[in-house]
Amino acid sequence: MTPLLEAPLLEARGLVKHFPFRDSLGRARGAVRAVDGVSLSVPRGRVLAIVGESGCGKSTLGRLLLRLIEPDAGQLRFDGEDLLALPPAAMRARRRDMQLIFQDPFASLDPRMTVEAAITEPLILHKLHRGRERARVAELLERVGLRPELARRWPHEFSGGQRQRIAIARALASEPRMIIGDEPVSALDVSVQAQVVNLLGDLIRDLGLTFVLISHDLGVVRQIADEVAVMYLGQIVEQAPAEHLFHNPRHPYTRALLAAVPGQGGALRLLEGDVPSPVSPPSGCRFHTRCPHVRDVCRASAPPLSGASHLAACHFQDSLPAATPIREAAADARLTRLQAYFTEHTP
């Protein structure tokens, strides 16, 4: 096997999506430049995280990658095939390979469908396991850690964590090759979140899934991502293997984002101000209005995303002072042993 030479499962080039808006008289007033020239490769069997703050365009990008919305410009290839050229019927068939899990498990399940009906739907749609749908639903429920006899129940009878497991089972039903999770664990309490994060990790490994994790939570990203792309105002500012990005962030925005995560003994250097409006993003480098290292060239010209395996879009990425590294938590022997009980001894 030569994983480095293997073509990515999904490839996006120059994706653009603007949402025009009008005033009360119907006159065009501008556009939210939600995704503004994004190129991205999703390696096979790996977890790519797309991170950024609200309004950076990460959710829109997720929908573009699945062609749930049409881009204004750009190319999209899934397993070498030009997705944007597919007619509707062929695209529907292709969807079998690419599924989405949403943040809110209360909104993503139809309250009038039993769990069994919800999971059977994709089986019928894609003509899978014909004649043994019920047995397949039972298998899928067990796979996500739910008892098969729960199949006859209704969504409202389940907790948030259980509903997210059901949503995952439904996503797995069509035997997809890629799943995009848009903040899939953000609505869950910590103890339940850990269960679902562990479950996702197991499924990705056991089924060889390619997973795109859209998240604002850098702790969750650190836990499961192999590769990370950082977005700011509709563009990717940095993309690198996860451990590389966390330990050697090259873009000033990535550095500020990591420094702001609580739990590191107080923020080191705070970023001033708010994110500018995506309707009229700043000229040149979009981060220049908040960047501590800004110079004239940053206001005038947009830096390209450049580098070998660690890409960054900063004019000064090679000359910036070294980043303040994340201080790795010291392993506490007592705590580690006690916490292992939770995995080893189920009460």
Give the Cα separation of 61 and 243 in Å (integer): 23
Query: Does 287 help bind another protein (rule: CB under 8 A)?
Result: no
Instruction: Return d(Cα 125, Cα 323) in angstroms, integer.
Output: 50
Least separation in angstroms between residue 129's CB and another protein is 30
Separation of alpha carbons 319 and 316, rounded Å: 5
Gap between the Cα atoms of 234 and 17, Å rounded = 9
Q: Which stretch binds another protein (CB under 8 A): 63-71, 87-95, 268-276, 300-308?
A: 268-276
| Local structure of 288: helix, strand or coil | coil
Q: Which of residues 5-64 bind another protein (CB under 8 A)?
A: 53-54
Residue whose CB is less far from another protein, 90 or 338: 338
**Of 39, 41, 223, 317, the one binding another protein by CB under 8 A:** 223
Q: Rounded to the nearest 5°, which phi and psi values hold at 288?
A: -65, -25
Return the beta strands (E) in 144-279 as ranges.
Answer: 178-182, 210-215, 227-232, 235-241
The least distance separating another protein from the CB of residue 7, rounded to whole angstroms, comes to 28
Token pair 């999971």 is at which residue?
119
Q: CA 240 to CA 262: how far, in whole Å?
A: 23
One of 256, 298, 311, 312 touching another protein (CB under 8 A) = 256
69 versus 194: smaller Cβ distance to another protein? 194
The least distance separating another protein from the CB of residue 290, rounded to whole angstroms, comes to 9
Smallest distance from another protein to CB 154, Å: 18
Alpha-carbon gap, residue 214 to 36, rounded angstroms: 17
The β-bridge partners of 240 are: 228
Q: Which residues of 314-335 are buried (b: 16+ CB within 10 A; e: fewer)?
A: bbbbeebeebeeeeeeeeeeee
Confirm or reject binding of residue 192 to another protein (CB under 8 A). yes
| Closest CB 197 distance from another protein, rounded Å | 6
- Considering beta carbons, is residue 208 or 325 the nearer one to another protein? 325
* 195 in contact with another protein (CB under 8 A): yes
Residue 323 lies near another protein (rule: CB under 8 A): no
**Using the rule CB under 8 A, which residue among 261, 279, 297, 300 binds another protein?**
261
Is residue 127 a contact residue for another protein (CB under 8 A)?
A: no
| Number of residues located near another protein, criterion CB under 8 A | 61
Of the two residues 83 and 271, which places its CB atom closer to another protein in the complex?
Answer: 271
Residue 64's nearest CA partner among 88, 84, 90 is 84
- 243: contact with another protein by CB under 8 A: yes
Cβ-contact 146, 165 below 8 angstroms:
yes
Decide: helix, strand or coil at residue 141: helix
220 makes contact with another protein (CB under 8 A): yes
Q: Which of residues 63-92 bind another protein (CB under 8 A)?
A: none
Backbone angles phi, psi at 171, to 5 degrees: -65, -35
Q: Which of 16, 294, 323, 326 binds another protein (CB under 8 A)?
A: 326
Q: For another protein, which residue of 31, 194, 207, 323 counts as binding (CB under 8 A)? A: 194
Check if the beta carbon of residue 313 is closer than 8 Å to that of residue 237.
Answer: yes
218 contributes a contact to another protein by CB under 8 A: yes
Cβ atoms 11, 175 nearer than 8 A: no
Contacts for 29 with CB less than 8 Å, ≥ 6 apart: 21, 22, 23
* Footprint of another protein on 328-347 (CB under 8 A): 328-329, 331-335, 337-347
CB 275, min distance to another protein, A: 7
In this structure, which amino acid lies at residue 227? E
Q: Which residues contact another protein by CB under 8 A?
A: 53-54, 159, 161, 189-195, 197-198, 201, 216-220, 222-223, 243, 246, 256-267, 270-275, 326-329, 331-335, 337-347
